[in-house]
Amino acid sequence: MDWHSFLIVIHLIGTALGVGGATFAEIFIVKALRDGVIDPIESSFLKVTYRVIRTGLSLLVISGFGFLVISRMTGFEERLLSPLLWSKLAIVVIILVNAILLQTRKIPLALGSALSLSSWYAAMLIIPLRSVIKGVNAGFVEIMLWYVVLVIVMMVILAGIKKVLKLFVE
């Protein structure tokens, strides 16, 4: 197995852990906040999920930069200035900053959780959708604008889910 294949495996494992973890973190938070209180058992589930997300993010970042080193060393430097790559890097930075803002309660949970979930799915889907993105010649700004749209849509969806669940509880 060459380095590139090894890094792909690590990157996919990181994606599964990160995106899966972020999805379940959101499900657990919605479920836990149905009664307005997060009890110790719910809190322990969330802690484990966050640990899984952090593990996934670590694997993704290290393997991701491994790809960049390989690109540089095999003569494909132009990939390092690609709008797709820079959009992904920006989204990873948003994930990191969002986590800090959520921890310090400087951001409403509704916005923070929508940002987190949208960011993970956007980062996952950017590469599979690259043929579409390249086809419409989208640059960094256009990709990030679509990302903002995704965040807004996600906020609306999550708000709707929470409202429906609240009706069931009542």
Applying CB under 8 A, the residues found at the interface with other proteins are 58, 61-62, 65-66, 68-69, 72-75, 77-81, 85, 89, 93, 96, 99-100, 103-104
- What is the DSSP secondary-structure string of 50-77? HHHHHHHHHHHHHHHHHHHHHHHHTT-G
Nearest to 99 by CA among 57, 65, 62: 57
Least Å from the CB of residue 62 to other proteins: 6
Least Å from the CB of residue 53 to other proteins: 12
Least Å from the CB of residue 104 to other proteins: 6
| Amino acid (1-letter code) at residue 156 | V
Least Å from the CB of residue 54 to other proteins: 8
Tally Cβ neighbours within 10 Å of residue 42: 16
Please say which residue, 32 or 99, places its beta carbon nearer to other proteins.
99
**What are the DSSP E strand ranges found in 22-123?**
none
Please say which residue, 44 or 58, places its beta carbon nearer to other proteins.
58
Please say which residue, 5 or 104, places its beta carbon nearer to other proteins.
104
As given in the structure block, the two tokens for residue 160 are 């709707």
As given in the structure block, the two tokens for residue 153 are 């849509």
Q: How far apart are CA 27 and CA 129, in angstroms?
A: 26
Please say which residue, 54 or 162, places its beta carbon nearer to other proteins.
54
